Amino acid sequence: MENNKTPLLDKINFPKDLRKLSKDKLEDVAKELRNETVEAVSETGGHLGASLGVIELTVAIHYVFNTPNDRLIWDVGHQAYPHKILTGRRDKIKTLRQKNGLYGFTKRTESEYDPFGAAHASTAMSSGLGMAIGRDLLKKKNNVVCVVGDGAMSGGMAYEAMNNAGSEKSKLVVILNDNDMSIAPPVGALSNYLSRIISSGTYQSFKNLGGKIVSKTFPERIGKAAKKAEEFARGIVTGGTLFEELGFFYVGPIDGHNLKSLVPVLENAKKYKNGPILIHCVTKKGKGYEPAEKSDDKYHGVNKFNVATGVQQKSESKAPSYTKVYANSLINEAKKDKKVVAITAAMPSGTGLDIFGKEFPSRCFDVGIAEQHAVTFAAGLATEGFKPFATIYSTFLQRAYDQVVHDVAIQKLPVRFAMDRAGQVGADGATHAGSFDIAYLGCLPGFVLMAPSDEAELVHMVATACQINDRPSAFRYPRGDGIGVQIPNEGTPLEIGKGRIVNEGNKIAILSYGARLYECIKAADILNAKGLSTTVADARFCKPLDTKLIKQLALEHETLITVEEGSIGGFASHVTKFLSGESLLDSGLKFRSLFFPDVFLPHGKPEDQYEEANLLAKDIVYCALQTLGNNYSKEEIDLA
């Protein structure tokens, strides 16, 4: 790739090429890499701020360590764009997050330089320790390096891994990327602790001494007096670090943007053989790109943008997002009921709770990247008579499944789960898709499960959840904008377990659960135009089922088709169980169900994902015609 703006980067196809350069060239490599990253993300969108914050760190790691033989694990992986550029993927970097392009996180099948796939937080040290122990058992000598953001340190799994690593004494290099920000400003005691270390007068006074000590940190033999002096100095600097109590040798804080400091420290860490070591790097999210540095979220996730101005492209929308509708609905309910409280796990803006928090700061709780804690915390609030709304992406709620079962469902506590990002999510791909919540919640006794077909229904379901005080409940809603229907000023609680008929026919019945309803209506219009009278019904509830409605549809139609945005084992399985139990499948009813295929769908545009999942109007029509014995191909179906 010829580009006179990047003369050094043009010579680097893989890290082995980077390692051929002299150290005095690394700062220039970092500048070129930063510009390349900004340029690429301006065309694709993605996680820019986190990647800009680790430019120097990425260069230093690949320069010092012998990747891919030395394993490099990025926690979450959304900061790995510069890593991808340096590891043989520069020519594809502008396909980032596009269909058939590079994944937005690390992915094992994409490159040998991605030894562990990621996208959810706090997993790096656990997987890294597993690799380190595996190395030891195989009597190999390679290094294992984990880069962990400070936001991920709010997740309990990180401490479980550190506790294990400290006791195992296996060699493991952990780099704490402390940028004082994950997606939103980090919360909790650890964040405050790290901030105190960095801002303390003792650190400022001793940082020069600390720098001298770091350069002599790891001699194999060290005099007792020198060792005591070192420990004394590091004790003053860090205040007796938590990490050392967990069994890690702690070094830092050091400037994560200063390659002259980073490279020697990493070289010394590479030589260290006495167990796990943690290097505390202070970085700045969005570093080196002014619009990102000035942004409140440091350009965490961006659309395509103008490099010169930083102005992001905004798609025109005729409807508010489901997330915003949910937030406003919850605010309305909270105004009427002082017992309504809201919980998020480090995603206030992603879930809309930043809006709720501004209105009710004392009733909104961001617990950090700690979904397990969030769920049990909500359960505790419920025992005291509050109405907690645990507002967590569908894919992230998976991380707290035992808490949902043990701490909520068994005790029949009225925690309300608001699950954003239900269904396919587009460029973030399989790791973020809300594919499984219908199945994993539907099997739990006592739950009320709802799914709105549009933003107006979401308003009503928030109101409904507020009134459910004797058992847990959950409702799921998709990413992105609503349909454009009129939104009611106030939600009206729905009758529990009661669906509705939208259009009436007498030959084919389509029963939708969730946001595919409007595709079902389009399909019905096509079928009606072909002389096949079609009913469309909105189930609203998966649990309890509207058995009266389902029985009516089964008895009054030749064909019944269910449609949902979820995996096998979801809504259709509940309907099938009911039809079978009532012997309705023995009466000649032709029953079919449409749901996600039994694969992890790749990233791309949502419309492409739903086409691949066979959940568009044409797919519903095709299913109906095939069921009735009409052998049309999908290409022959007239969708005009």
Tell me which residues are annotated as active site: 285, 371, 399
3-state secondary structure of 638: coil
Q: What is the 3-state secondary structure (H, E, C) of 88-138?
A: HHHHHHHHCCCCCCCCCCCCCCCCCCCCCCCCCCCCHHHHHHHHHHHHHHC
Starting at the earlier edge strand, list the strands of the sheet with 500-503: 500-503, 534-538, 508-513, 559-564, 590-594
What distance in Å separates the CA atoms of residue 41 and residue 22, rounded to the nearest whole number? 29
Q: CA–CA separation, 449 vs 539, rounded Å?
A: 11
Sign of CA pseudo-dihedral 49, 302, 457, 491: positive
How does DSSP classify residue 321?
Answer: B
Strands 473-478 and 541-543: unpaired
Are β-strands 590-594 and 276-282 bridged in parallel, bridged antiparallel, or unpaired? unpaired
Using CA atoms, how far apart are residues 438 and 197, in angstroms rounded to an integer? 44
Distance in angstroms (rounded) separating the CA atoms of residues 621 and 523: 5
Look up tokens 């401490």; give the residue: 159
Structure token digits, residue 203: 């650190």
CA torsion 368→373→375→381, rounded to 10°?
Answer: -100
β-strands 559-564, 534-538: how paired? unpaired
